Amino acid sequence: MLTFNAASAAQLAAHAEATYPDECVGLLLGRLEADLKTVLAIYQAENRWAGQVTLAANDDPTSRRDRFYLDPRDYLRADRAARAQDLEVVGVYHSHPDYPAIPSERDRVGAQAIGGPSFAFVIQSVRAGRAAELAAWLLVDEGARFEQEDMTLWP
């Protein structure tokens, strides 16, 4: 279960709109109590995808429209920012420009390197430049698949 304060959700949506048509990426800062994650702030990172992995031959390796790369140093900066506010990193977010808020196979593979078992993977869909649906996912079955996580907003 993930709850978002409205200000953080609005900042996340604005970040996703600002980087459109590229994907944005950032970290969710908040508190974790048992299965309940509360997001109280976001940390806007930079999508540093620059063709780190060679894919299919017809693929533009530098496109950031359907992929992101979160630099581990950005993760550490977010972690420091969280601690400074007495919070912790409870998840990661990225956007899906003109695509539903459903994780891709690339997301599943990339997620193996980020976070632990209760880590939230939040996806903000953006359609024609405007923020659309937001969804939260959990990596389950030892990383074999994603399962949608209940999410609520509070003012």
**Residue numbers of the site for Zn ion (CB under 5 A)?**
104, 107
Q: How far is the CB of 109 from Zn ion (least distance, A)?
A: 11
User: Please, which residue, 37 or 67, has the CB nearer to Zn ion?
Assistant: 67
What minimum distance in Å lies between the beta carbon of 2 and Zn ion? Answer: 17
Query: Strand pairing partners for 38?
Result: 3, 31
What's the min distance (Å) between Cβ of 65 and Zn ion? 11
The smaller minimum CB distance to Zn ion, of residues 42 and 87, is found at: 42
To the nearest whole angstrom, how small is the minimum distance from the Cβ of residue 102 to Zn ion? 8
- β-pairing, 120-127 vs 151-154, is unpaired
Tracing tokens 């998840």 back to the chain, one arrives at 91
Paired tokens of 10 = 């609005």
Looking at beta carbons only, is 85 or 148 nearer to Zn ion? 148
Closest residue to Zn ion in the complex (CB): 107
CA angle 50, 54, 60 (to 5 degrees): 65
Question: How far is 144 from 28, CA to CA, in rounded Å?
Answer: 23
Contacts of 53 (CB under 8 A, 6+ apart): 61
Between 40 and 131, CB nearer to Zn ion: 131
**Amino acid identity, residue 105?**
E
